[in-house]
Structure 1
Amino acid sequence: MKIVKVVTTGGSELSDLFLRQTAKHSGIWDDCYFYVNQHVKKCDWLVVCHSSALKKSDTALCDPDHIVYISMEPHDHGIPDGFFKQFSKLVLCDRSVSHPDIRFGNGLTWWVGINVKYGKGHVFSAKCTLDYDRLKTMKCPDKQNRISVICSKKNLMSGHQKRLDFILKLQGHPICKYIDFYGGGYHPIPDKWDAIAPYKYHLVLENSIVPDYWSEKLGDAFLGFAFPIYYGCPNIHEYFSSDALQVIDIEQFDKTVSILEKLISQDSSEYQSEAIYQARTKVLNQYNIFQIMADICDEPAQSYQKCKLIPPRYFLEAWLNKCTTIISKVNKRIVG
């Protein structure tokens, strides 16, 4: 069995929330044993999930050709090129990144089944209520013929503002009597499951419209047996059947409302369709981040070397220091 060291955000305290996506929280998937945020001296593969996972340098004895970075974000703006050069393989969606071995896609983690408390917008405590085993075996719960949506009032980026504007328009339209609004600023809810599972339909609004990027917002809808009404990834049908979700464009408000009205009036059973069950199975297995890592970590180490990974900020600091030195030299020449 191949040994894979995985570095994620949250440290050892939140490791189990990651491991819950494997059977019995075992960290085993296919023929890989994943050690998440644990001290491992020697491994076949080393995987970093998200640039923020590296708060400090990390060292392991591993194959230098078996070091992987999984972005988990639509963009990697502001991350120096030197950071990416540490890795032999990248999994990301940002087309601006240059690297000889990039697999375009996203590492998916789930947020349904986690009871979360927030402090200043960031997770400070979380407890697992659902895991791979329970999600895999559970039956579809009873549903009400309504639409739910989870949305915060953040407007830090243009995507946030566009989404917020759409939500405000919905709240001012008669269709809103069929919609329940959840999230910060609306109806805060600790576990997303409670805002998805009771509903036939779930409105999924991505912050960024990027090829190959779809977030846990969509995955969580499928896991909750809801039929997603989706705005986001332009090539989403390469991942899921067109029967498994309804694509909308929130910039076409009247057309979107017509779609919502039609779904509600039909009182149909899209959430019980075979397409939804197939999509849900894909989220549980094929698009599970452990399956993504297992697909990449396909062979044992061919050699072992001491490999050290450096956080992005060190590359940025080095670049800033270099710029400062150059500016200082130029100023001296001007003054001199």
Structure 2
Amino acid sequence: MQTRQINVFIPGEYDRSFIQSFLERQSPNADGIFSYQYNDDVGQTHKLEVLFQTSNANADYVVFFNKIKQDVECQCFKDKIFSIQQEPYIKSDSTYHIPFKNEFFKQEKTYEATSKTFTFVEELLATKKTKYIPHHPMLYFMLDSRLSFKELESLPLPTKPKTLSCIASMNKAAFAGHLKRSEFVRSFQNLITHKEESITCDFYGNGIQAISQKSEGILPYQYSIAIENSQTPHYFSEKIIDCFLGYCMPIYCGAPNIYEYFPKESLVLIDINQPESAYEIITQAIQNNLWQKNQDAILEARRLCLYKYNFIYGMGQIIAQDFLNTPDLLLTKQTYTLKAVKRTLLSHIQRNAWRLGNYLHLV
């Protein structure tokens, strides 16, 4: 069997050491490699090895996260620079007095060099349909930093003596979503305290009860409340992924189209803007033993997290298929300079003007 290696350079917004750790923890052999087998027209089997690396030596493709942090020169196949968005654009919020953030992620100039950008930002999705592709962010696992991919993969279904947990940092306030989540948690705690026949829930996170690993708040539990920072189509994060990896049923508030990605029976949807209703939905799910009844759906969701929504598998599949669909004649190397994206003076002025206007109740 013939093997061909495709080298993928990963620059971007994150530090190199973080990216390297991310790649190792997402790959089966901790080497950043995705293996793809296929048969040619005469039935001969071939293998592609897509190697994701932080070095730009001998790169065939370039994939960057979010935006370029500093100028970088690279060489790769023509028109083979891709990007994946992992952070949402945050609109200004008058209720919480927070100006817009991450405005780079809705601006086409951030992705001038790319031929494909996998995104969930609606402002980009409304433009070039072939360049901006609706996609989830392929975020990393955070269940337990001590577990390799293989250890996570082979993790057996644990004994779950406890019912419900909620992991939420109460001291985050950068986004309106952080504050809404904190408000819900406080309301939910209050409901549990004052209901006559109340459910029990263990609360974890910075500002409540710190834990060294998320697994402590997921593995012993049948259900866990998972609330995203924003309710954006296609955007789901480790908050729901870690629940599934820990064989837990998520009580979820986030992507409104989450059923496009996971079986409907694998999770329970709530609206954090309606704590009373959320409390009743959670109570009913527990009383109806949904975790026990829907084990097959939870196992399927876990499989999807490991082998489809994982960055190594997801982007590896995309690159392998793109490579096979590109004629050899077009696989020529070119040199590119990827330009750093920084907040402009105009954006600084707009943010501060919004702050002032919001303070004076003008916006």
CA distance in 2, matches of 1:86, 1:316: 19
CA distance in 2, matches of 1:270, 1:316: 52
1:249 to partner: Cα distance: 1.2
- Asked if 1:15 corresponds to 2:42, the answer is no
- Asked if 1:236 corresponds to 2:258, the answer is yes
- Asked if 1:86 corresponds to 2:117, the answer is no
Residue equivalent to 2:142: 111
Residue equivalent to 1:146: 163
Partner of 1:23: helix, strand, or coil?
A: coil
- Flag structure 2 segments of 5+ consecutive residues without an equivalent: 36-47, 91-101, 325-329, 348-363
CA distance in 1, matches of 2:278, 2:113: 44
Task: Answer yes or no: is the 8 Å Cα contact 2:247–2:302 preserved in 1.
Answer: yes
Shift of the 28–258 alpha-carbon distance from structure 1 to 2, 3 Å rule, reads same
CA distance in 1, matches of 2:293, 2:178: 28
The letter of the residue matching 1:155 is: A
Residue equivalent to 1:331: none
Aligned length: 303
Residue equivalent to 1:304: 333
The letter of the residue matching 1:172 is: N
Partner of 2:251: helix, strand, or coil?
A: strand
CA distance in 2, matches of 1:316, 1:66: 28
Task: Answer yes or no: is the 8 Å Cα contact 1:201–1:271 preserved in 2.
Answer: no
Alignment TM-score, normalising by the size of structure 1 = 0.83
Alignment match of 2:179 (pick from 161, 186, 196): 161
1:11 to partner: Cα distance: 1.3
- Asked if 1:211 corresponds to 2:241, the answer is no
Task: Answer yes or no: is the 8 Å Cα contact 1:19–1:36 preserved in 2.
Answer: no
CA distance in 2, matches of 1:85, 1:286: 28
1:145 to partner: Cα distance: 3.5
Task: Answer yes or no: is the 8 Å Cα contact 1:45–1:62 preserved in 2.
Answer: yes
1:68 to partner: Cα distance: 0.7
CA distance in 2, matches of 1:108, 1:17: 9
The letter of the residue matching 2:131 is: D
- Asked if 1:256 corresponds to 2:270, the answer is no
Shift of the 161–271 alpha-carbon distance from structure 1 to 2, 3 Å rule, reads farther
1:142-195 CA deviation, whole Å, 9 max, x = no partner? 102321111112233222222111111111122676111111100112211111
CA distance in 2, matches of 1:310, 1:5: 15
- Asked if 1:284 corresponds to 2:306, the answer is yes
Q: What RMSD in Å do the two structures reach over aligned CA positions?
A: 2.4
CA distance in 2, matches of 1:296, 1:210: 23
Residue equivalent to 2:150: 133
Sequence identity (%): 28
Residue equivalent to 2:208: 186
- Flag structure 1 segments of 5+ consecutive residues without an equivalent: 115-128, 321-336
1:33 to partner: Cα distance: 3.0
Alignment match of 2:75 (pick from 58, 61, 69): 61
- Asked if 1:74 corresponds to 2:88, the answer is yes
The letter of the residue matching 1:191 is: Q
Alignment match of 1:245 (pick from 262, 267, 271): 267
The letter of the residue matching 2:148 is: D
Shift of the 17–165 alpha-carbon distance from structure 1 to 2, 3 Å rule, reads same
Alignment match of 1:4 (pick from 5, 8, 11): 8
1:237-262 CA deviation, whole Å, 9 max, x = no partner? 11011111011112222221112222
Task: Answer yes or no: is the 8 Å Cα contact 1:7–1:47 preserved in 2.
Answer: yes
The letter of the residue matching 2:158 is: P
Alignment TM-score, normalising by the size of structure 2 = 0.77
